[in-house]
Amino acid sequence: GDSVTQMEGPVTLSEEAFLTINCTYTATGYPSLFWYVQYPGEGLQLLLKATKADDKGSNKGFEATYRKETTSFHLEKGSVQVSDSAVYFCALNYNNNDMRFGAGTRLTVKP
Amino acid sequence: DTAVSQTPKYLVTQMGNDKSIKCEQNLGHDTMYWYKQDSKKFLKIMFSYNNKELIINETVPNRFSPKSPDKAHLNLHINSLELGDSAVYFCASSQDQGYYGYTFGSGTRLTVV
């Protein structure tokens, strides 16, 4: 079935470091792809999305590009801040089924 | 103005009790969901309602029963609570069945003692 696999955490970085969180997907067609962020004690918030191949989603300095050839949607940020510490979820939605989430990657950014 | 609101935020109860969690969305979305998040942050879909009609009912014990009185509300009733039901429960909503993403509530942390 449709699924996403994201890199296991936790990930610990120093402030201003470059961030990459890998995400690959399996789907029979062309799903919409998403990154959500969950700050401590809160619900998930949509961070960015891409609905077709080669689309780039971006928000708050985060970016991810929908790569059909590698079935990937890696999340990147050029310079992380302490306030970016959270759990990040990759997800896909295909054929109007329920959103399928990855296992989440915990990011901790140290000053 | 909260888009998806859940109540209560925290719920501590004894084994065997029956409890309900309420969810309301003011976004005009046509689909609402219940997800369970375990202690390792893994998210599992439980139920999905589209315009008051159940469209997803994953393998969930029948002690869990969703109720949607109208398309802006989706409540979750749990009978005979067990220790293993302890988790964070999230309500979410979407338009166009999630093509553009979901909006989540802030969660209800259920602790069964």
Determine contact: A34 vs chain B, CB below 8 A: yes
The count of residues in chain A is 111
Measure the CA–CA gap between B99 and B101, rounded to whole angstroms: 6
Query: What's the start-to-end Cα distance of chain B, in Å?
Result: 34
pLDDT at position A28 is: 83
What does the pLDDT read at residue B65? 92
How many residues in chain B?
113
CB B57 within 8 A of CB B4: no
Binned average pLDDT, 10 residues per bin, chain B of 113 residues: 91 97 95 93 90 78 92 95 96 86 95 97
Helical H runs in chain B?
Answer: none
Q: How many CA atoms lie within 13 A of A59 on its CB side?
A: 12
A87–chain B Cβ distance below 8 A for any pair: yes
Q: Report pLDDT for B90.
A: 97
* Mean pLDDT in residue range A67-76: 96
Burial of A50 from C-beta contacts in 10 A (0-12 / 13-18 / 19+) = buried
Cβ-based interface (< 8 Å): residues of B facing A: 4, 33, 40-43, 45, 48, 56, 90, 92, 96-107
In the prediction, which pLDDT does B96 show?
79
Do residue A96 and residue B96 have CB atoms under 8 angstroms apart? yes
Minimum CA–CA partner of B57 in chain A: A98
Read off the pLDDT of residues A34-60 as tens digits, 9 standing for 90 and up.
999 999 989 999 999 999 999 999 999
